[in-house]
Amino acid sequence: MRRVYRVTAKIHGKAVKVTTRLANGKRTDKLPTRQKNQYVKRARQAGIRTVTRAVVAFRWQVYVDGDTDCNIALLNALGKVGRDLGKTVHIASGNRTYAEQAELYAKFLNGSGNLAARPGTSNHEGGNAADAAIDGVNIGDYPGARVAMRKHGLCLPVRGEAWHCELGSRWAA
């Protein structure tokens, strides 16, 4: 569903108050920051002092890099862990195709790879899991990361894999 915003300005002396409404008429202050900033810029050019409450969205891209084709909620949580630790979280493996999972599973079966789920059963295939590290250290082994992960709703659900994280509270590693 696409949101439509309507911005109205009320001029009181030299101050401008920005009120935003959704298409259905409900008030919101979740106007996209870019639109709000453009409005503020135009008002300032006209010599009007602006009074706004800018809602700045969290940008996970600042704290996460690598294979970022995962679930957006997972990326946001990993970004918040990175922000809390002051580090960048690197995702070595995010979303996988069935073929990629089959290849990893074959390596696991012949003894040349890590533990891997049978193709069609992995949370990586839906983008709901990520293999992550911080400064080259598995995310679960990095000092303070487990506390930050719990705080932001992440877990390490696979025993022996301190790099495999998902949203949830099922801790095994």
Number of domains in the chain: 2
DSSP code per residue over the chain: ----EEEEEEEETTEEEEEEEETTS-EES---HHHHHHHHHHHHHTT-EEE----PPP-GGGTEEES--S-HHHHHHHHHHHHHHTSPEEEEE-S--HHHHHHHHHHHHTTSS---PPTTS-GGGGT-EEEEEETTEEGGGSTTHHHHHHHTTEE--STT-TTEEEESS----
Residue 172 lies in a domain: no
Residue 173 lies in a domain: no
pLDDT in tens, 34-73: 655 666 666 566 555 544 444 445 677 888 988 888 888 8
Q: Which residues of the chain have a pLDDT value below 70?
A: 1-58
The per-residue pLDDT for 49 is 52
- For the entire predicted model, the pTM comes to 0.65
82 and 47 part of one domain:
no
The per-residue pLDDT for 53 is 46
88 and 116 part of one domain:
yes
Residue 25 belongs to domain spanning: 5-51
The CATH number covering residue 99 comes to 3.30.1380.10
120 and 101 part of one domain:
yes
